[in-house]
Amino acid sequence: MKEIKVGLLGLGTVGSGVFEVLKNNADEISRRSGCRIRVTRVVSRGLDAVRKMVGPDIAISEDPFDIVNDPAIDVLVEVMGGTTVARDVVLAAIARGKQVVTANKALLAVHGNEIFAKAREQGVMVAFEAAVAGGIPIVKALREGLAANRIDMLAGIINGTTNFILSEMRDKGLSFDAALADAQRLGYAEADPTFDIEGVDAAHKATLLASMAFGVPVQFDRAYIEGISRLAAEDFTYAGRLGYRIKLLGIARRRADGIELRVHPTLIPERRLLANVEGAMNAVWVKGDAVGETLYYGPGAGKLPTASAVVADLVDVARMTDVADEHRVPYLAFRQDQLQPVPVLPADQMETAYYLRAQVRDEPGVLADITRILADEGVSIDAVIQRQPAEGEPTTDIILMTHRTVEQRIDAAIGRIEALPSVPSSVVRLRVEQLN
């Protein structure tokens, strides 16, 4: 039986999961692939612990380039993370003609264009199912399963940490800070959670999804990114009264004049499946012109789920090592020479509906002033809630849902609303997507 030799770079959570899955399911994987996929070299810090985990028969060392320089190795599995050493090692492996499987979304979102171009030159594969939505085979769905479609839009819950926090805020009425503390205590959030809660991780993934959906180069630096750290508990309550839930979505949308690529908290109707994805789970909703709506759900992180995606890539790569490039699925779904430089639209040109919450003095005419400003700016209103103030309370809340409009109109309207003497504090603005 053909044997594929793997060099495993990183033996942390994901790396040890990959090792475990390849070992536990070796027979099943061979029955599927017709190959024996064997880890022959592991690079990781802490050699004593590594030796204990991998047993006596596998070469171990601490220098990532040992994998690149081992001529017997067919495939580099990069599950170390980071965008500096990882980039150098991946490029060096490609230069040596090795296949690459990686779980590294940051690396590909930032350096993908360079990496895919070099891989194309060398005729090697770069597989990255594990980089987006963990165990969910969404890369395969977008690149292959929906290949007949012109993709119109996708929207994904692609960061488990933030989805866990948002679920806690809604279910338990917690503040953001309290829900974050829960997430940290339970291991769903890191000690420094910035990358997750500010939407950067989701934007890396959305960048890759957008490229595969529309056949465009990765454009992470053009993504609009807004995290969840400023969300207030009362917005979950008002959203619920209006029939919506708040989720951090990574969204890619095709427009005639470009694409939208954005990550932000989003109100979505509570009857949509995506609104009911709770805790640390992920899901991606994709709308194509032929298929209509589809959704893919599963664990977005974790040792074995991520390993499931890495090993699925290994099976694909093992099957196709000796096959010419033209027979392989292109990195970003479209053939490298067919990517089109469609621009990502600037934030003020994005189109969505909006949820606005204004704290207002309890005076007659405030609602009329606000709705007049929105009308002036060409923003039409879908629904209004005005909270009944408690006896003697000097201010109250007005909540407005708008129809779809261009962001710059809302910006202009908010500026004017905040200038009203009856509006003492800044207006909360969240985006709304119907997903239909």
Binding residues for NADPH: 105
Q: Which of 7, 10, 15, 135 touches a copy of itself (CB under 8 A)? A: 135
In the bound complex, what is the minimum distance in angstroms from residue 207's beta carbon to a copy of itself? 19
Q: Which of 197, 251, 298, 423 touches a copy of itself (CB under 8 A)? A: 298
Residue with tokens 């890539």: 313
Q: With binding defined as CB under 8 A, does residue 28 bind a copy of itself?
A: yes
CA distance 140 to 143: 5
In the bound complex, what is the minimum distance in angstroms from residue 133's beta carbon to a copy of itself? 10
User: Catalytic site residue 205?
Assistant: yes
Q: With binding defined as CB under 8 A, does residue 215 bind a copy of itself?
A: yes
Q: Which of 61, 149, 359, 386 touches a copy of itself (CB under 8 A)? A: 149
Q: Which of 128, 296, 331, 354 touches a copy of itself (CB under 8 A)? A: 296
SS3 298: strand
Q: With binding defined as CB under 8 A, does residue 103 bind a copy of itself?
A: no
In the bound complex, what is the minimum distance in angstroms from residue 144's beta carbon to a copy of itself? 6
Stretch that binds a copy of itself, among 21-29, 169-177, 341-349, 366-374 (CB under 8 A): 21-29
Q: With binding defined as CB under 8 A, does residue 262 bind a copy of itself?
A: no
Residues annotated in a binding site for NADP(+): 9-16
Give the other-Cβ count within 10 Å of 336's Cβ: 16
Q: With binding defined as CB under 8 A, does residue 221 bind a copy of itself?
A: no
Give the other-Cβ count within 10 Å of 192's Cβ: 8
Q: With binding defined as CB under 8 A, does residue 290 bind a copy of itself?
A: yes
CA distance 251 to 156: 7
Q: Which is nearer to a copy of itself, 132 or 410 (CB)?
A: 132
Q: Which is nearer to a copy of itself, 80 or 339 (CB)?
A: 339
Stretch that binds a copy of itself, among 116-124, 156-164, 216-224, 283-291 (CB under 8 A): 283-291
Residues 5, 23, 172, 205: which is the catalytic one? 205
Q: Yes or no: say if 111 and 87 are a contact pair by the CB < 8 Å rule.
A: yes
Q: Which is nearer to a copy of itself, 294 or 349 (CB)?
A: 294
Q: Which is nearer to a copy of itself, 79 or 413 (CB)?
A: 79
CA distance 258 to 353: 19
Q: Determine the longest span between alpha carbons in the chain, in angstroms.
A: 81
Q: Which is nearer to a copy of itself, 91 or 154 (CB)?
A: 154
1 exposure class (CB count in 10 Å sphere: 0-12, 13-18, 19+): exposed
Question: In this structure, what token pair is assigned to residue 117?
Answer: 């171009």
Question: ∠ CA(262), CA(331), CA(155), 5° rounding?
Answer: 25
Residues annotated in a binding site: 9-16, 105, 190
Q: Yes or no: say if 165 and 180 are a contact pair by the CB < 8 Å rule.
A: yes
Stretch that binds a copy of itself, among 67-75, 142-150, 178-186, 349-357 (CB under 8 A): 142-150
CA distance 258 to 8: 39
Which amino acid makes up residue 352?
T
Please, which of residues 301-340 interact with a copy of itself by CB under 8 A? Answer: 302, 304-305, 307-312, 314-316, 319-320, 322-323, 326-330, 333-335, 338
Q: With binding defined as CB under 8 A, does residue 172 bind a copy of itself?
A: no
Residue 238: which of 393, 358, 403, 69 has the closest Cα? 358
CA distance 150 to 173: 40
Q: Which of 67, 108, 109, 146 touches a copy of itself (CB under 8 A)? A: 146
Distances (CA, A) of 295 to 194, 219, 298: 28, 24, 10
In the bound complex, what is the minimum distance in angstroms from residue 313's beta carbon to a copy of itself? 9
DSSP string, 32-94: HHSEEEEEEEEE-S-HHHHHHHH-TTSEEES-THHHHT-TT--EEEE-S--SSHHHHHHHHHH
Q: With binding defined as CB under 8 A, does residue 292 bind a copy of itself?
A: yes
Q: With binding defined as CB under 8 A, does residue 52 bind a copy of itself?
A: no
In the bound complex, what is the minimum distance in angstroms from residue 276's beta carbon to a copy of itself? 6
Question: In this structure, what token pair is assigned to residue 292?
Answer: 């209509």
Count CA atoms closer than 13 A to 270's CA, side-chain side.
Answer: 12
Q: Which residues bind a copy of itself (CB under 8 A)?
A: 2, 17, 21, 24-25, 28-34, 129, 135-137, 140-141, 144-150, 215, 271, 273, 276-277, 283, 288-299, 302, 304-305, 307-312, 314-316, 319-320, 322-323, 326-330, 333-335, 338
- The catalytic residue positions are 205
